[in-house]
A and B are shown apart, each in its own frame.
Chain A
Amino acid sequence: MKCAPFDYVRAASVEETVKVLGEADGDGKILAGGQSLVPVLALRMARPAVLVDVNRIPGLSSIRRIDDTVEVGATVRHSRLAEQTEHPLLAEAARWIGHTAIRSRGTAGGSIAHADPSAELPVVAVATGATVTVTGPRGSRDVDAEELFVGALTTSIEEDEMITAIRFPQPDRWGFAEFARRHGDFALVTAVVTEVRGRPRITFGGVGSVPQRAAAAEQALADRRPAAEIAHIAAEEIEPTADLHGSVEFRRAIATEMTRRALAQFDSVREQSR
């Protein structure tokens, strides 16, 4: 099927984007990489009156280090994230997003805003305690990634707001493991183990409607329990949902193994840095 008609605005600035969205009064949408939005439009699951193309807004496509964080502009493509060396965990996660032709268009801001429960960047945002900068008619605000994701494909961003950047703290150590049916497919389970500013975090993607942290497993990691035990605690703690691709039990089994792998990588990084 083809998209329903819409007005197209190629925005020159964030201010213009916010203004057009405000005027559209809930009937406008930002068009970034289009890798999630265009299929939705083609299926006519959405038929916004206006699309605001943010791809040519200057200043939104840079990657900058600021103290112990790496700031990623909203329109930075997944392919660039995969190549950069400032934030190795982010690079690893980006390599798992779709295939080359998807990564060449999809953007960091679009992935966070789309909030797919199986997507990689939302998990890394929660796993590193990232901050998302959002601009609207009422000015700019910083939102904790954990507070941004409120449900599957749902965030706390308002209809007239735009994500301009995401600041990902650099973990001291990390491990990343993902299981998908084919490399490039959405994750069945993603496990990310990090130590950020001295605190361990264990975060999962693909097992619920938003990235989930496993607090008891994080405590077990802080207490230096054996990896098998931590993985077991984590898999019991999370609340996977069953779908076409796997039952709850299957997802728990995969989560256990992915946690073990992420922990092994996490430990090997510790050994290297000693």
Chain B
Amino acid sequence: MKISFSVNGERADLDVEPRRTLADALREDCGLTGTHLGCEHGVCGACTILVDGEPVRACLMFAVQADGASVSTVEGLQGTDGELHPVQEAFVACHGLQCGFCTPGMLMSACHLLDTRPDADRETIRAEMSGNICRCTGYQGIVAAVERARADMRDPAGPGEGPVHPWEVTFSEE
């Protein structure tokens, strides 16, 4: 089937089999391999992207369903000048990744969270990010990174006021 959608602001025209998932179309037809595939069952969150601004598991949507939609992937986070997005910066600063496999999905989930709830507290961040599975970090760095990005995005000019290292954070009992 012939379809077209926009990816990170650029138009993509594809001819795909209906059974091709959006994740596979992005990776193999668009050459955007930033979107990772872990479980292909909607459980791990590695393939999370935004479709018309909403977070979506790219492994659970067929590319034909994205016809006419606006898709954002991790490749679109970086500015045209090559500068990292504040959420990417914060993941680097706070050790929000180790092997990096889960990172694209984590970044997209974090971006959507901070876009829709710029005042998200630590509990909300923990609950939201728990939809993405990471086998390396123990999540402490990830939660710290999202908190730091939250601060940086509120005050882009100011010095990063969030915690720099996960071990500088005091953890609430849970």
Q: Chain A interface (Cβ within 8 Å of chain B)? A: 1-8, 10, 31, 34-35, 38-39, 41-43, 51, 53, 55, 79, 98-102, 104-105, 182-184
Contacts and interface: CB of A to CB of B under 8 A. Distances in A.
Interface stretch (B89-97, B125-133, B140-148, B151-159): B125-133
Contacts of B113: 100
A39 B42 contact: yes
A39 B21 CA distance: 11
B61 A34 contact: yes
Contact of B18 (A1, A8, A105): A8
7 contacts: A6-B18, A8-B18, A35-B42, A38-B42, A51-B18, A100-B128, A101-B109
A8 B1 contact: yes
Contacts of B57: 35, 101-102, 105
B17 interface: yes
A39 B41 CA distance: 5
Top 6 A-B residue pairs of the complex, sorted by shortest distance between their CB atoms: A99-B131, A8-B18, A101-B55, A104-B54, A3-B19, A39-B41
A104 B55 contact: yes
B70 to A, nearest CB: 14
Interface string B18-56: 110100100000000000000011100100100000111
A53 B61 CA distance: 11
B110 to A, nearest CB: 11
Nearest to A98: B131
Nearest to B17: A5
B65 to A, nearest CB: 6
Contacts of A51: 18
B144 to A, nearest CB: 20
Contacts of B131: 98-102, 184
A198 B1 CA distance: 54
B45 A101 contact: yes
Interface in B54-84: 54-57, 59-62, 64-65
Nearest to A77: B54
Nearest to A3: B19
Contact of B19 (A4, A39, A184): A4
Given A38-B42, A79-B54, A184 B1 contact: no
Given A31-B65, A101-B42, 18 more contacts: A2-B19, A2-B24, A8-B18, A31-B62, A34-B60, A35-B57, A38-B61, A39-B41, A42-B40, A53-B65, A99-B131, A100-B55, A100-B109, A100-B112, A100-B128, A101-B45, A102-B57, A182-B130
